Structure 1
Amino acid sequence: MRILLSRLEAAGTRHPRSVLTALVVATLGFAVLASTNEFEVDITQLGRDDAEAAQALDRAQEDFVDPSATVQVILDAGPGANILTGAGFGAAAQATDIATDALGADVRDGDRGGPHVSSLGAALREQGVDPTAVGDDTLAASTAELITSNPRLATLVSDDVDLEDGSARAMVLVLGIDQELAKSERIEAGERVQAAFEDPEPAALGDMRVTVFSLGLFDSGMLDAVQSEAPMLFAIALLVVLAVLALMYRSVFDVAVGFAGLLCTVVWTFGIAAVLGPAHLGWTGPLTQLAIIVPVLLVGLGIDYSVHLTARYREQRAAGENPADAAGGALRTVGIALMLATVATAAGFATTATAPLPMIADFGVFVAVGVLCAFAIMTLLVPAARVLRDHGGARQPGRVREIGLGRLAGAPVTLARRAPALGLAVATLLTLGSLLAATDLDTEFDRDDFVPTGSDIEATLTHQKELFGSGVTETTYAVVDGDFTDGELTAAIRRAHGNLADVPGVRTVGGTPQATSVVSLAARTGADVTGEGDLAAVYERLRGTVGEQQVGQFLSADDRAGLVHIRTTAGDSGAERLRAEIENAFAPVSDTGASVTVTSEPIIVNGMNDDLGRFQARAIALTLSVVLGLLVAYYTAAYRRPVLGVIAMTPAVAGASWTLGTMWLLGISFNALTATLTAIAIGIGVPYGVHVVNRFTEDRRCASAGDAIARTLRNTGGALAGSALTTLGALVVLSLSNLPPIRSLGVLGGAAIAFALLAATLVAPGMLVLWARSHDGSGRG
């Protein structure tokens, strides 16, 4: 450590112009690299790639005709209105024409010519019924008969459908798009359809509300919402930090140096993220919606280096040292604490690399990289800038202004001197109580948490749920691997269809489950694939009758795997129970020796709860072991006092524990981001203990324990308070985010910082005094 610091000192104090030039050149290079970053927002890919359910869903989308390659047009006649009328079907036909014209060549060809469109109107026309030309009674009877005979069509009308009256508020048109289109091309196709309905010319639609939805549009809307929010949060965080720096420094120059260092840190971080990402090394994924947290966190964490270095530099200058010696002295003294804090903080964030969610794993890596960049930049920039600025020794900067703590050090000093055991006992009781309460915290993972509040996407999803319950897109799949030319297997699948009627969460129409397989598809055409005949020939005739694409949704080309589509309403919270129930319903299929895997996006997401719970325990254990091991090893090597490493760790552990207790008091559950809170809180809380311990050991050389702790809090107090205030300000800015997990992390992360500061000033000093007295063999200090 000291070798590295000596080299940094030599560079910054002897060659300041070269250092500043190198920093500028490096920042420009990283800026070029940062421009190659890829940004992706996709909450349907939150699960582990190696999970059985995730692999099964991939197969459902890759081995069969991808059911997600669609654009959906929702027609809403409004509350109390009926869309299942001649006028309603006429509007639907007009809407179909508008959508297919907008898609152009990107629309998927249907098996019988023309575009691939699934709609209630198209199904009626296939039965020889023109919904715009028959009377209401005939239309209602035909619609009821069609939906009853083919329950899958019930997914195309809203949940309030009344088959007896022939009424429903809304219907959906599903247009297939070319599966070979790239993701960007699918987004563009959906945007064309959306734009077509924003044109006021389609008068035939009247007052009907039209909503266009696709997975591509969803991702695009999420991306727009996140990208518009990120600069705002970053700018606010910078303003907060600059305000604190102005209050502390009362120097435009020092504020400008801190500001420049922060900008360089963010640019370097995203430049390295690009190198690690898919465009280069491929070690991490593309930037996600969590990327907006990274620059805000780096603003709060990175400015600490400037605060402590500038505070110590001014202290050294006030003692009469020249600029070069003062800058070098600041780096030699506070630099050790900064380096320890850097490694500990980076380790705390790096433990999130083991998170089950790729976006969180990458987030931790990026922040860890950013902390290392901040250390490198600030330890070069601040000394070099100060030496150039104050060259000649005429300019005498004032001390860093104490923000409350230095002036109010009397209470902590009195507690540490007179009753150090009392503070330790109270802190221990609070920590144990908080940890006990934390065992009662639940872990909840909800994809809706990643939908920006107040965004157009949120409005679309809310409208979908209002009309279609859990949403028009919820489908659970049963992937069946077996020989579909074996009548025993297909007969078992038919029995499973019947069993689904008794499964809570499976949609039914007239007691018939809304489930479709190649068995039910064949039955609707009058073909029987459950007998002992040549079923391969039956499938070939079926492909000729209803089309390759229609059969391809439910049967693989080699007849060795099948897919059962089941319309469900369980949502994320009921997905695990639903999976168990469906697996039981498919017991007859499993009994034939075939393999059955039940999967859906909600099932994958629900599985994240268990993964996140295991990750929390793993991350906490890993962070504690790595950081504590590092601190103990350092203080053993430097002072032969391993207990100092434990004391330095205390504020971080106490702060993290008390934050968990606060979550329990407020009834806040762990979510996708707060599951990482404990490990992160330890990482960002360690610097407070390290700075107090290091300064105490320095002051202890020439003073008693009591005097040393008083001097430590008086001299380090302003820097600690300023450091905490800047980090706290940046984290609280996250509470302005439109993403609920980020808001929670901002509030709770701010609480962790405040608690770590309290522990560093009220608990660690008492522990140091007790240690010093014990070491000296005296009861007083």
Structure 2
Amino acid sequence: MSRVLDLLARIAIRVPALTLLGLLAATVGLGAAAATLEVDTGMDSFAPEGGAAATLDAIEERFGTVASVQLLVDDGPQGNVLDRTGLQVAQRLEDALAGDTTVAAAFAPSRSDEPAVITWGLPFLAGLENGASDLDDFDDGTLQVFVDTVAEQAGDQIEGLLSDDLETDPARARSGLVQVELDTAAPYEVRAEASRAIERVAAETDTADLRVSVLSMTAIEDGIAGALERDLPVLLGTSLLLVLGVLAWLFRSVSDVVVGFTGLIASIVWMAGFGALLGPEFLGLIGPMNQISIAVPVLLVGLGIDYSVHLTSRYREQRAHGDRPDDAARVALRTVGVALVLATVASVAGFLANIVTPLPPIADFGVLAAVGIVSAFVILGAFVPATRVLLDRRHDAAGEADETGAAAKRVAGTDPRWVQLTTHLATRHITPVLAVTAVLLVAGGVAATGLSTEFDDRDFLPEGDPVIVVLDRLEAQFGGDVSERTYVLVDGDPSDPELLATVAAFENRLADVDDVRTAGNRAQVQSPFRFVDQLGEQAEGARDRIADELDDWRDPQAAAARIELPDTIDPELVEGQDDAAVELPQDLIDALRPRLPADRAPTAAMIATSDQDELRRQIRDALADDIAAERPDALDDATLAELAERDASELTLGALADAGYPLDRLDADERRQLELLEDLEAAGWEAPAGGERPVDGPSLRSQLDVVATYEPEDLGRLMDADGVVLIVSTAAGSEGAEALADDLRDAAEPMQDAGGEVTVVSNPLMQAEIIESLSAAQLWAILISLAAAAVLLVTATLFSSRSVMLGLIGIVPSTVALVLVLGAMYPLGLAFNALTATVASIAVGIGVPYGIHLINRFREAREEGLAPDDAVTDTLRNTGAALIGSAVTTGLAFAVLMLSESTPISQFGAVSTMMIVFAVLACLFVQPALLVLWGRHHADPGEPPVERDSAPAPRPAEAGMA
């Protein structure tokens, strides 16, 4: 240690100008490297390696999962997104999103059963399209009838995209969702740009008075990044200004303030530069900067200033006693420098203890903090003495004062009140001081047992952020994040009928599992079997339409009578019709036309005053004529009657062709659907009854073979040669993810008995895993941090003072502060999170340096022959002021973090500030009492104590510390 300090002193004192130039060159170089720093605010970076995140990545690679972007369209209380305006907005959004090239470039491959853009209006708009109609073709009453009919028929299919207040008679819902599925196989940048483009499209689209909000992972990450960009300049700038003010108050010297302030700035530059060199772009030893890295620069301001305060204070003390600049700098480095080296090593060890955590960002935080502390030691350890030597040599040569008078005495510590108080307690009331401390520690330890661990990505967003608003509205209107998916991966032989039967049975049971979303009485799930059902049901719909057409053609009047008409016929419904269609005499038309406004048709005018029943009869007659006109000429009455009498299941392509049905009326998609349906039915498929599908293994295998022939790519997203995946729509959140996973595993036991290996994973489960890992790592981090500091100090004091106990006394401020802070966190409602999890590192980084400085000065006083009581008084007089000054600057720097918009960073600032207060109090009251006890126990009974009431003379310039 002495050799390191001697080398540093030799360089800084003998060649101060070259030292400063070297520091400048290094700072410029590292500053250039810092410009390449990357920032990643993604939540997946917190996931432990090899856990849920790795499983999700494997599923994505095997099956090509999708990333969902949601647009929440809200018509407000009592609003309705199923009216004309709401459906028009749904259509506009769908068209605008599909037409934007940036968005379309990231679309997930459209499946036959699920397009890339799904709106709440899809079933209604698809019904209009099938009828070759448009929204503008309907009056409000007729449109309501149509919407009610579709809502009743497709209720289960639309529940997930409409708010919980959905009603079907009449159809009404306050809010609707648009889901845009993005391909996770696309590069991250492409998906991120598409997500931002979706926000732009939503803002540019005419949505009437409906409020549109967008939720995506990119929106969350951008929100966090934006908060960091706003926070960092404010927090760092404010902390630096506060430190600047405290340094000015403490030193009363422009040069000393500038030296300390400049050293801090350089330390931050070095930290950023080394962070870039260690990061992904160069060595790849740590990850990119993240949402908790913002605390490191402010942390360096708080911890790094300690080097400047103590070095400058000791240097000025020596100068006040007449030392030349070179000698004063040498003594400062050899005395205070010993404590600073020990403090640096202890702090670095404390922060590096975070490496044991399985969460990469927290481990990287520890590495960056450690690198920054070492940088601060090197820079300030060389910069302060080199600069002071250069300046004071010139002052001495010119015969000028060197500003060491009053300020130096102030730093040395002469305040009688606080020195007398702490000395009195430490020497006269040792037992009460230690007893009160013990009581507080017990109380703090008990309270700390109630601490919980929390981790939520929304905590990093400022209050009122648009993303939080959207999440809250989704919770209120849809019961949570509707994009939550839980994956059940079943690895095994997918051709094994027994395994397939257990998978199908598991799917049937999903509706009974808590937190699984349902539609009707079926779980909302994507699986190979649900895909088979969807294809079969779509094809059945096509065949049912043929059966309905045959029935309508056989009796057009009955078909027209089945069409529901509004109670009141709107004149606009027949606006522009041929007047002969409603049997108005020409002379009446001629008589009416001059008396009507130019834009008012005679037909509409007569409709407004006509009998509604008669109008309804005429409309039904017209509809019947239209239906009859659509009948193919090739179908004679006998053939039509025979086909119409058949059950829909009998209307195969072969039967239709044999009966003379013109198959050219069917488009290619319809014919392909009917062919698929016939093959599925031949394989034993039938529509699930009552929400449950048959679980006959051989039949399931045959059905999957059929679908693999028609839709191999779509089936490949749910099944491969090594197994199948079920994608379950859930609403557990991170709080219920573990319970849901346990329930799913219990339900999956038959699959495991059949030879399948079942894995349950989800993003909320990954978040729960992060919380569990964070919680499990706390004890280890605390133990490692304190143990490393204890070993270091015990080793140092064992060699220097032949004492183990003296080293243990050095970690007392850290231990006391740590226990009291943990105890205070519980009643204050604070929990362990991504940043407060580093509380042990902060305790060591702050408390250990305080303890080392006190022990170091106490040893000096004892070596000069002072009695233990006098040595404590001397220590507090000469070091106490510097400790308090350092604590004030450090405390203010950390307190600034409480202004952050991010909850974890704000809480980190509160916890760190409390740590500083408790550590300095323990250093001023508890540690002196223990030092007195230790000193009395180790006092030489044959040596009379030396008593001094004034400050002792400084150590000679040539003296050093081992």
Unaligned regions of 5+ residues in structure 2, if any? 537-679, 686-693, 948-962
Match of 1:177 in 2: 182
1:590-629 equivalences under 5 Å are: 590-629=752-791
Aligned equivalent of 1:648, options 785, 794, 810: 810
Q: Does 1:723 align with 2:725?
A: no
Match of 1:481 in 2: 491
Q: Does 1:466 align with 2:479?
A: no
C-alpha distance in 2 between matches for 1:224 and 1:727: 27
Q: What's the CA shift for 1:369?
A: 0.8
C-alpha distance in 1 between matches for 2:58 and 2:846: 42
Match of 2:634 in 1: none
Quickly say closer, same or farther: Cα 1:66–1:246, change in 2 above 3 A: same
Deviation per CA, 1:105-142, whole angstroms, max 9, x where unpaired?
A: 51435346997322343345556467846632332332
1:109-508 equivalences under 5 Å are: 109-111=109-111, 116-124=116-124, 128=130, 132=135, 135-148=143-156, 150=157, 153-199=158-204, 202-203=205-206, 205-392=207-394, 393=396, 394-398=400-404, 399-400=407-408, 401=410, 406-407=415-416, 408-508=418-518
SS of aligned partner of 2:759: strand
Q: What's the CA shift for 1:264?
A: 0.7
Quickly say closer, same or farther: Cα 1:112–1:436, change in 2 above 3 A: closer
C-alpha distance in 1 between matches for 2:925 and 2:435: 11
SS of aligned partner of 1:437: helix
Deviation per CA, 1:213-239, whole angstroms, max 9, x where unpaired?
A: 322233223212212211111111111
Larger Rg: 2
Match of 2:875 in 1: 712
Quickly say closer, same or farther: Cα 1:460–1:103, change in 2 above 3 A: farther
Q: Is the 8 A contact 2:296 2:369 kept in 1?
A: yes
Q: Is the 8 A contact 2:81 2:176 kept in 1?
A: yes
C-alpha distance in 1 between matches for 2:413 and 2:169: 74
The letter for the 2-side match of 1:140 is: D
Aligned equivalent of 1:84, options 82, 85, 88: 82
C-alpha distance in 2 between matches for 1:304 and 1:583: 54
The letter for the 2-side match of 1:611 is: S
C-alpha distance in 2 between matches for 1:162 and 1:476: 28
Q: Is the 8 A contact 1:486 1:535 kept in 2?
A: no
The letter for the 2-side match of 1:725 is: V
Identity %: 38
SS of aligned partner of 2:71: strand
C-alpha distance in 2 between matches for 1:658 and 1:366: 27
Q: Is the 8 A contact 2:487 2:725 kept in 1?
A: yes
Quickly say closer, same or farther: Cα 1:551–1:164, change in 2 above 3 A: farther
Q: What's the CA shift for 1:541?
A: 4.1
Deviates more, 1:122-131 or 1:427-436: 122-131
Match of 1:690 in 2: 852
Quickly say closer, same or farther: Cα 1:406–1:717, change in 2 above 3 A: farther
Deviates more, 1:287-296 or 1:441-450: 441-450
The letter for the 2-side match of 1:581 is: D
C-alpha distance in 2 between matches for 1:601 and 1:26: 43
Quickly say closer, same or farther: Cα 1:541–1:118, change in 2 above 3 A: farther
The letter for the 2-side match of 1:449 is: D
Quickly say closer, same or farther: Cα 1:732–1:423, change in 2 above 3 A: same
The letter for the 2-side match of 1:15 is: V
C-alpha distance in 2 between matches for 1:677 and 1:627: 15
SS of aligned partner of 1:443: coil
SS of aligned partner of 2:70: strand
C-alpha distance in 2 between matches for 1:131 and 1:497: 39
Q: Is the 8 A contact 2:70 2:215 kept in 1?
A: yes
C-alpha distance in 2 between matches for 1:767 and 1:339: 23
Q: Is the 8 A contact 1:107 1:175 kept in 2?
A: no
Q: Does 1:29 align with 2:193?
A: no
Q: Does 1:56 align with 2:60?
A: no
Quickly say closer, same or farther: Cα 1:589–1:517, change in 2 above 3 A: same
Quickly say closer, same or farther: Cα 1:121–1:549, change in 2 above 3 A: farther
The letter for the 2-side match of 1:197 is: A
Q: Does 1:95 align with 2:93?
A: yes
SS of aligned partner of 1:598: strand
Quickly say closer, same or farther: Cα 1:764–1:272, change in 2 above 3 A: same
Q: What's the CA shift for 1:63?
A: 1.4
The letter for the 2-side match of 1:542 is: V
Q: Does 1:772 align with 2:772?
A: no
C-alpha distance in 2 between matches for 1:665 and 1:416: 30
The letter for the 1-side match of 2:923 is: A
C-alpha distance in 1 between matches for 2:519 and 2:424: 75
SS of aligned partner of 1:20: helix
Deviation per CA, 1:419-469, whole angstroms, max 9, x where unpaired?
A: 223322221222233123212322233332223333333233333333322
Q: Does 1:47 align with 2:55?
A: no
C-alpha distance in 2 between matches for 1:404 and 1:323: 21
Deviates more, 1:282-291 or 1:423-432: 423-432
Q: Is the 8 A contact 1:107 1:115 kept in 2?
A: no
The letter for the 2-side match of 1:261 is: G
SS of aligned partner of 1:321: coil
Q: What's the CA shift for 1:562?
A: 1.6
Q: TM-score, normalised by structure 2?
A: 0.77
Q: Is the 8 A contact 1:655 1:759 kept in 2?
A: yes
Q: TM-score, normalised by structure 1?
A: 0.94
C-alpha distance in 1 between matches for 2:301 and 2:57: 39
SS of aligned partner of 1:374: helix
Count how many residue pairs are aligned between Structure 1 and Structure 2. 770
C-alpha distance in 2 between matches for 1:751 and 1:257: 28
SS of aligned partner of 2:379: helix
SS of aligned partner of 1:666: coil
C-alpha distance in 2 between matches for 1:674 and 1:114: 44
The letter for the 1-side match of 2:718 is: F
CA RMSD of aligned residues (A): 2.4
Q: What's the CA shift for 1:534?
A: 7.8
Q: Does 1:747 align with 2:757?
A: no
Aligned equivalent of 2:925, options 754, 762, 767: 762
C-alpha distance in 1 between matches for 2:169 and 2:456: 37
Q: Is the 8 A contact 2:455 2:771 kept in 1?
A: yes
Quickly say closer, same or farther: Cα 1:740–1:162, change in 2 above 3 A: same
The letter for the 1-side match of 2:72 is: I
Q: What's the CA shift for 1:314?
A: 0.6
SS of aligned partner of 1:135: helix
Q: Is the 8 A contact 1:103 1:193 kept in 2?
A: no
The letter for the 1-side match of 2:719 is: L
The letter for the 2-side match of 1:26 is: A
Q: What's the CA shift for 1:776?
A: 1.3
SS of aligned partner of 1:49: coil
C-alpha distance in 2 between matches for 1:649 and 1:107: 56
The letter for the 1-side match of 2:329 is: A
Match of 2:520 in 1: 510
C-alpha distance in 2 between matches for 1:181 and 1:373: 41
Quickly say closer, same or farther: Cα 1:691–1:618, change in 2 above 3 A: same
Q: Is the 8 A contact 2:426 2:925 kept in 1?
A: yes
C-alpha distance in 1 between matches for 2:387 and 2:412: 24
Q: Is the 8 A contact 1:124 1:146 kept in 2?
A: no
Q: What's the CA shift for 1:17?
A: 0.3
Deviation per CA, 1:471-490, whole angstroms, max 9, x where unpaired?
A: 13211111111222233222
